[in-house]
Structure 1
């Protein structure tokens, strides 16, 4: 990975909080403990492990996680209320590196229909929340929920008030996945000009993007280009509705296309094992076509593609499977009616089935004829039946 120490991007994982809000998904305290350990192994910088005000069990779970983490910051989420903030503070008592994250909605829709507060009242609530949070925790993150449907001038005003009250991390979330990449990039750049730090501690700008329009990863990268130095997401893109930005996609996109920014402590070879372990733990099926970690992410069935990767993998693979913890093998070559000669004979050779040079044309024609009647990829047993023992 290209190293540019001046521009690291911190990974803020909210699998245990926002990811737990995936409809139909449930995480036990034991699940959360194990997943936190896996996330630290992946190299995330911050783990938002839950919403302590939800229950005493949630507080106890975060306290248990706090005793396990060695390098990673433990974060607890709280609404802008004293009750929530006090619960979050209690949950963070065992953490070596605690962060208290408080939020309030700022968009007209949320102000009018959910909170029933005017602009002045929203700012007052934000200031009170951050001020109280700072009494318990030195590191306070503030989020303006539904930021990208908030008036830009008012958004800057709320964020400035939070900074003045002591927040040092500012999260600008695209809560409903509404924004487009160019809007994200511009908004982050403009906010950094409008909001003034009040101490020598530099502000950390954070992006939290949802995938309602399928843009969460693209929007997260746009935020980085606009100046964000923390990106929030979940493994496998878990979360409300269509989910959050997928951290594994962000890590590899930063490395592959925006290496000047780099994910600060990410361990890409852990991506595959960690995502598979979490999916298995939670009983989730990873879609075959899921970027980076799906079963088909490095698989090829077209004859043109198969021939290309056999000659040089980078013809059709922009990252190597080994880089994200996959084993390189002929499993990537899925034989079917679209497969070509190169893939067929490479696979037969792997199976120890030798075909004489003068028989290859006839063997390939037979394969194409047989494969045309098969609805799925052709497995090893079928190949041995067709061509094994002298075929």
Structure 2
């Protein structure tokens, strides 16, 4: 009889710790709702003590997402645990996740605590968390580099103190699969009360082994895996949810396990997370990369045309990716558009969101002959989470050439006021950004700029992602247009609008650590 593997998604906590990623409350809530549709068992919604914004996001998710367990991270500190409980107490199924480092190197150089002090703190804080919340998860940070005898001692003690989930993190991605599997097996064999809790693992990808280590742990008795969409996370990231789930599903002959993940929602979830975080998926990424189901070699193409199983071990449809592309144009009606939205996984849009996307679709259809699936995905992703437009681009004009200085003139609207400015720059995009800065009167730093064609062809829709910085905070903006200068200007103004919206609610307490 196959056993269930519980999927604990930490995209909104560990995933958001990826350098340059910053999600607001609305974006986090939208991702959490999609994770619920995906079928994850637990959502680690954030680290409430880290900032006011993180607290509000965790609270909003706890209030609005009801099926999964909603988890809040806290250091083994009373203040953190109080803040975590304050945020998740509204959840239908709340869990406090507390952690403290247990490896010699972390205890000596980071915590500056003796092992017995760490043991005492872990027990006290698990016990305190248990007094607030019935479901308490404990992680010995840097568990794979912890002396086994001390690790076993700590785990036994926190289970006696009331922990319901024990998570073993490979915090720095140090372990090898056979080694990590053996560690999980040894915990099963040497921790006397381990059968009273769920055993979980959290693997980082510093050596590219996070998924392999997670699967090895499952084979040796781990019941829950902690992972992220697209493998997002600190440094080289975390174990990728889509890879673990599809490995278990595709190799059911090898893994006598199953998950409750609705795999047809994987692609939709991946594209949403990529769009909102501004972290684009590499083409050769397993499962969700653009090339994952592409075949260029003549030999491969011949085999696939004869029988797809010759070179495809899973179907595109199994992750929610349609093989055939329905091409829509300016004569396509609303019904066809709505049906295509459903086929692409957009099944929970409000009527006003569909209306806004349909208007954008019609505008785009007037500019290009055919509107492809990826164009529609981009349009909907842009409209679903619309930032209030404090500033709007009314007009822009560019003068540029290889022997002239690029000059841009922009007209920006704020309420009933119009601001018009011009500027020169090192190319049309730079000149436009400088003109926008002058018109709005806000100085920001451009930290990153990314342009991609959503589809192929001369009339392809261009998607621009920018990251701007001010006072140590980073804001991500996105813009779409068949004109890359217009897309760039829209993205830049979108980021500024997000900054304006958030700047008065961002300054909260900053946690010193962000967990495993």
TM-score range (shorter-chain normalised) is: 0.7 to 0.9
- Where does residue 216 of structure 2 map in the other structure? 222
Alignment map for 1:250-269 (pairs within 5 Å): 250-258=244-252, 260-269=255-264
Q: Of residues 139, 147, 156 in structure 2, which corresponds to 1:160?
A: 156
Alignment map for 1:298-313 (pairs within 5 Å): 298-313=293-308
Judge conservation of contact 1:16–1:48 (CA < 8 Å) in 2. yes
Taking the aligned partners of 1:202 and 1:69, their CA distance within structure 2 comes to 28
Q: Does 1:29 align with 2:22?
A: no
Q: Of residues 85, 93, 96 in structure 1, which corresponds to 2:81?
A: 85
Alpha-carbon deviation of 1:380?
8.4
- Where does residue 388 of structure 1 map in the other structure? none
Please give the root-mean-square deviation of Cα atoms over the aligned residues, in Å: 1.7
- Where does residue 276 of structure 1 map in the other structure? 271
Q: Does 1:120 align with 2:116?
A: yes
Scaled by the length of structure 2, what TM-score is found? 0.62
- Where does residue 243 of structure 1 map in the other structure? 237
Deviates more, 1:278-287 or 1:307-316: 278-287
Taking the aligned partners of 2:282 and 2:298, their CA distance within structure 1 comes to 23
Taking the aligned partners of 2:34 and 2:258, their CA distance within structure 1 comes to 17
Taking the aligned partners of 2:249 and 2:319, their CA distance within structure 1 comes to 11
- Where does residue 205 of structure 1 map in the other structure? 199
- Where does residue 353 of structure 1 map in the other structure? none
Judge conservation of contact 2:77–2:125 (CA < 8 Å) in 1. yes
Alpha-carbon deviation of 1:327?
1.1
Judge conservation of contact 2:41–2:68 (CA < 8 Å) in 1. yes
Judge conservation of contact 2:71–2:88 (CA < 8 Å) in 1. yes
Taking the aligned partners of 2:11 and 2:257, their CA distance within structure 1 comes to 21
- Where does residue 339 of structure 1 map in the other structure? none
Alpha-carbon deviation of 1:93?
1.5
Q: Of residues 11, 14, 18 in structure 2, which corresponds to 1:15?
A: 11
Q: Of residues 291, 295, 299 in structure 2, which corresponds to 1:296?
A: 291
Judge conservation of contact 1:9–1:261 (CA < 8 Å) in 2. no
Alpha-carbon deviation of 1:258?
4.2
Q: Structure 2 regions of 5+ residues with no counterpart?
A: 327-455, 459-516
Taking the aligned partners of 2:457 and 2:103, their CA distance within structure 1 comes to 57
Scaled by the length of structure 1, what TM-score is found? 0.81
Q: Of residues 310, 319, 323 in structure 1, which corresponds to 2:314?
A: 319
Taking the aligned partners of 1:148 and 1:243, their CA distance within structure 2 comes to 17
Judge conservation of contact 2:245–2:259 (CA < 8 Å) in 1. no
Taking the aligned partners of 1:248 and 1:306, their CA distance within structure 2 comes to 25
Taking the aligned partners of 1:252 and 1:190, their CA distance within structure 2 comes to 27
Judge conservation of contact 2:21–2:278 (CA < 8 Å) in 1. no
Alignment map for 1:59-78 (pairs within 5 Å): 59-78=55-74
In proportion to residue count, which structure has more helix?
1
Alpha-carbon deviation of 1:330?
8.5
Given the superposition, is the C-alpha separation of residues 380 and 304 from structure 1 closer, same or farther in structure 2, using an over 3 Å criterion?
A: farther
Greater relative contact order, per chain length (Cα 8 Å cut-off, separation 6+): 1
Judge conservation of contact 2:24–2:53 (CA < 8 Å) in 1. no
Judge conservation of contact 1:11–1:263 (CA < 8 Å) in 2. no
Judge conservation of contact 2:127–2:162 (CA < 8 Å) in 1. yes
Alpha-carbon deviation of 1:264?
2.8
- Where does residue 180 of structure 2 map in the other structure? 184
In proportion to residue count, which structure has more strand?
2
Q: What does the per-residue CA deviation read over 1:253-282, in whole Å, with 9 as the maximum and x for residues that have no partner?
A: 111124644343101110011111221222
Does the residue aligned with 1:49 lie in a helix, a strand or coil? strand
Taking the aligned partners of 1:66 and 1:39, their CA distance within structure 2 comes to 13
Q: Does 1:101 align with 2:97?
A: yes
Taking the aligned partners of 1:193 and 1:283, their CA distance within structure 2 comes to 44
- Where does residue 347 of structure 2 map in the other structure? none
Does the residue aligned with 2:19 lie in a helix, a strand or coil? coil
Alpha-carbon deviation of 1:202?
3.1
- Where does residue 365 of structure 1 map in the other structure? none
Q: Structure 1 regions of 5+ residues with no counterpart?
A: 332-378, 382-391
Deviates more, 1:48-57 or 1:208-217: 48-57
- Where does residue 350 of structure 1 map in the other structure? none
Matched length: 328
